[in-house]
Chain A
């Protein structure tokens, strides 16, 4: 089926090339730049928002116009809390750290523009009751390669060790406290430290039924569904305890004796987020953006900005870390 898709794409390309192209004038309304507000709030950080202007799709500008003279007012539970200070790059920062249960809104005034408003509410923090893990070796072994400099013009690729792949299957136990729809996101971060160098990996297999992911490598490509931001809701466990299934693949590295000076350490951080509906819809639609829309409907990315575009969302974190 994949080859068929390639064939169709190739055929269309061939038709397109052999047919006719011409540059045309845009005959629609040339829309004016729209105020863009992005703000993702969490109790762990002070409030911040970025304010900018969108640009016409045929504009040849390479940079966006970041707004430096906006008055960005934060309201908490309907009362003005503070006016955020401008830092740089269109970013405004306040001093307030939101807490669960807050109703938060921004009123943004920009000279020459209509006021822009947006709102979100901070949900309660999900509680991770426990995490069960089971780690097995997958049997895969990959060499760890290193470019050894021989002289000024030559390098040689050396094998300095091997990575032995392991799969850690996890069951994250938590209880949904909702009587209505709740929205969640799972973030799994693997931090590898080698000496002073830190690298982060965010990939894991989210194969729980709530993810909607499918793993069918033989079927038609469109049967594969990928939940890019690992979001889900409580439709299947409304107000009930739930054990979220996922797995992490990582390598246990074993270096050859000559290269064991800086052994690496790996730490896994499992973060169950409870996200606002607006943030959930934003992530869901943003994940659907495709550059080639011939075979798919274009995606309207969710926005909750009144008088503008962008996203004001919120999330709370519940994090468990352990060393591999």
Chain B
């Protein structure tokens, strides 16, 4: 490590000294149409052949030698701007870029200069929201996370769910951030929809490996989602009415060119539509007086931004989203001939996130940019069930009342502050450094029970674990170094500490990636990243449940660690196709897996006793071919991969201490995404996915077990004739492969320009050829007719349950 630091400082001083008479051009780059900052626009000097990219806030800074400079500002889908300068002093240039009209409908995908052939970053993909919106989805709900599932190296979980697994990692190993703030529960409706409303989002970047030092805290991926700031020129918005939800987005200036807002909201209304049916069904039951019940989810995004000056901007982001299950039932009945009884049942389950972030951008100097953030993020699961009973007896007259209330509450919340700096001393260095501190509160679950009246004693009891508090602090530094015309590197260090229940953990994680440019079209890249993770998500069902619990590491369960190396070749063909092949090997330690038979379901009590600790590894090759320009765009992604686990530590054995495939180990994953614009009024998109079936555990043999002495059958002896133990024999964990899954989704958009806006009808087909993909496989005994004898016999059959057959959907969007 010492050598690494010494070499870095030597190179840094050498490079800095070579720039003696330099001046800096800096400023913000925004979209001319709506004033939104443009992230990752490329700024390139034709004379020195040096360049930089704008950061998350659209800010750029490039230091060049005194004299002539010819800067080219470019961003895919936008008109390229060319500016000539005679540099005599530091200069501020704020630029507005306009969409290239001849490319306006072109779908742009992963064409960032710092990610593609030219950049040092690998294993990262930038997915513009336009691409995400074009992907046909379940029930027509645009879904950010499901779009990511179509990328190589990313595997979907259960069919239809938004959960994903990156390069052999678990679902809790993905750091998903909205405007730099972690979101703990990213799903609605048990994982079938993500909480991110695409109307509120500007950009999504996925990192699968070679993580820059500024990111940490999870082993497998970082999803960096940026919200729209809001149009600073005029009021705009859109309204969408879909099959299961409606949403609205409004944005505009509060003070022209100074203050903007962007508000988005979405709500499902299946509960409202189903209400008459529910009432009709329940009302048939005798004595039913009042019935309301249902399920819905909603989310709300808001962002305010204010520009104090060219040097100071303030952003306030708010996100809240909840799933709600409710029921309110009132029923009356007669107690023989003596009186009446009324019962009330009220149920209210509510779970979701609240997230608030206040950010301050400050240009300290033309070479140094600062972003300071204070945020609060919270996930809550609240469950309440209440019952009341009123019995009225006429003879002799009396009334008795009783109530029972049960409540359950769990979750996590974070208070955090962080500061990030961008320092560009010269074009050969782009240095990022910063620090952050998070105060975590883990609420592992508390049950409250109250009862009054009735025949039992009144009760007011609270049971559960106490809150766990922890402190997490991080510091990092990274430098994107241009060593020469062909070699570029990103080196960094990420240092993190975690203090919980008297236990202190720390981790120093080196990060490194390098690009070797063979020619303008072809480059080789290599990367290494060390990561650690201090929190776990306790969940062991095939779907995401609101009861899933985040818990911190403990004295017994140490932080998870990983090291990942990756190698890649990147090629640009005819300025039209971006091709890449990446291979990776990831080693993971201190992974947890649930013990045989372990179940959590909302209780963290003694969770350490329900898991075993071991290690795992994943390796694979990812191929991506994408077309980013023209009327037809899209990509083909293919992944060949293996993910295995080994739990062989003494007392921690799983699968008898032998290697076993991870649950989502799938050898082949293929996705094809195509969209074609026929005209301004009509475009089509389709995706086709294929993957090897998931691994599952199945008892392939049954066998006789002995009677256990000292149990209810033991008077019959150890091996009674009539007794059949019928024990399941499981040869190995995850010893069975589900059927492969494949599916075609198709969507068609019909656009029309109206007087005050543009309307779009979207018609889509999920699972267009009705492929029944496996969700569960069970053994059932069915009666089967023998055609020869005409008799029925009982036959055991393997039965596959699928969730989503062909599902058509339609939505209407009006954009103004």
CB pair A285–B596 under 8 Å, yes or no, is: yes
A24, A38, A64, A300 interface centre (most CB from chain B within 10 Å) = A300
CB pair B447–A218 under 8 Å, yes or no, is: yes
246-273 of chain A: CB within 8 A of chain B: 271, 273
Once bound together, how far apart are the Cα atoms of A42 and B718, in whole Å? 12
92-118 of chain A: CB within 8 A of chain B: none
Once bound together, how far apart are the Cα atoms of A52 and B719, in whole Å? 11
Contact with A along B690-725 (1 / 0, CB 8 A): 000000011111111110111110110011010010
Q: Among the listed stretches A54-62, A138-146, A172-180, which one makes contact with chain B, having 4 or more residues with CB under 8 Å of it?
A: A54-62
B104 within 8 A of A: no
Once bound together, how far apart are the Cα atoms of A295 and B758, in whole Å? 47
Closest to A65 in B: B704
Assuming A7-B325, A31-B731, A64-B703, what are 17 further A-B pairs, CB within 8 angstroms? A20-B803, A22-B772, A22-B799, A23-B798, A63-B724, A202-B714, A212-B609, A218-B447, A219-B447, A220-B605, A222-B600, A223-B605, A289-B727, A295-B601, A296-B597, A297-B593, A300-B596
CB pair A38–B697 under 8 Å, yes or no, is: no
Residues of A within 8 A of B702 (CB): 54-55, 57, 59
Residues of B within 8 A of A91 (CB): 719
CB pair A19–B715 under 8 Å, yes or no, is: no
B464 within 8 A of A: yes
Number of A-B pairs, beta carbon distance below 8 Å: 237
Closest to B601 in A: A222
768-802 of chain B: CB within 8 A of chain A: 772, 775-777, 779, 782, 793-802
CB pair B779–A57 under 8 Å, yes or no, is: yes
CB pair B603–A298 under 8 Å, yes or no, is: no
Measured between C-beta atoms, what is the minimum distance from B704 to chain A in Å? 5
Chain A: residues with Cβ within 8 Å of the partner, total of 81
A321 within 8 A of B: no
52-66 of chain B: CB within 8 A of chain A: none
B805 within 8 A of A: yes
Contact with B along A290-319 (1 / 0, CB 8 A): 100111111111000000011100010000
Closest to B599 in A: A296
Once bound together, how far apart are the Cα atoms of A91 and B706, in whole Å? 11
Closest to B720 in A: A89
B749 within 8 A of A: no
B728 within 8 A of A: yes
CB pair A50–B708 under 8 Å, yes or no, is: no
Residues of A within 8 A of B540 (CB): 295-297
14 contacts between A and B (CB under 8 A): A1-B408, A1-B447, A7-B325, A28-B735, A31-B701, A40-B709, A55-B702, A88-B721, A90-B719, A214-B606, A273-B710, A296-B598, A298-B699, A300-B655
Once bound together, how far apart are the Cα atoms of A27 and B801, in whole Å? 16
CB pair A20–B703 under 8 Å, yes or no, is: no
**Per a CB cutoff under 8 Å, which of A20, A57, A285 touches B700?**
A57
198-217 of chain A: CB within 8 A of chain B: 200, 202, 212, 214, 216
CB pair B801–A16 under 8 Å, yes or no, is: yes
Closest to A91 in B: B719
64-90 of chain B: CB within 8 A of chain A: none
B593, B596, B602, B704 interface centre (most CB from chain A within 10 Å) = B704
With A52-B703, A57-B701 in contact, do A202 and B721 touch (Cβ < 8 Å)? no
Closest to B446 in A: A219
Measured between C-beta atoms, what is the minimum distance from B105 to chain A in Å? 37
**9 closest Cβ contacts across the A-B interface?**
A288-B597, A187-B710, A54-B703, A296-B599, A220-B603, A299-B596, A54-B701, A38-B706, A298-B697
A194 within 8 A of B: no
Measured between C-beta atoms, what is the minimum distance from B511 to chain A in Å? 35
CB pair A38–B704 under 8 Å, yes or no, is: yes
CB pair B596–A297 under 8 Å, yes or no, is: yes
CB pair B719–A300 under 8 Å, yes or no, is: no
Residues of A within 8 A of B408 (CB): 1, 4, 220
B385 within 8 A of A: yes
Measured between C-beta atoms, what is the minimum distance from B552 to chain A in Å? 19
586-604 of chain B: CB within 8 A of chain A: 593-603
CB pair A288–B602 under 8 Å, yes or no, is: no
**Per a CB cutoff under 8 Å, which of A3, A60, A298 touches B730?**
A298
Once bound together, how far apart are the Cα atoms of A20 and B461, in whole Å? 44
CB pair A3–B798 under 8 Å, yes or no, is: no
Q: Among the listed stretches B43-51, B352-360, B541-549, which one makes contact with chain A, having 4 or more residues with CB under 8 Å of it?
A: B541-549
Contact with B along A19-42 (1 / 0, CB 8 A): 111111111100101101011101
CB pair A55–B701 under 8 Å, yes or no, is: yes
Measured between C-beta atoms, what is the minimum distance from B564 to chain A in Å? 27
Once bound together, how far apart are the Cα atoms of A187 and B609, in whole Å? 25
CB pair B601–A297 under 8 Å, yes or no, is: no
B383 within 8 A of A: yes
CB pair B601–A5 under 8 Å, yes or no, is: yes
Residues of B within 8 A of A277 (CB): none
Closest to A310 in B: B703
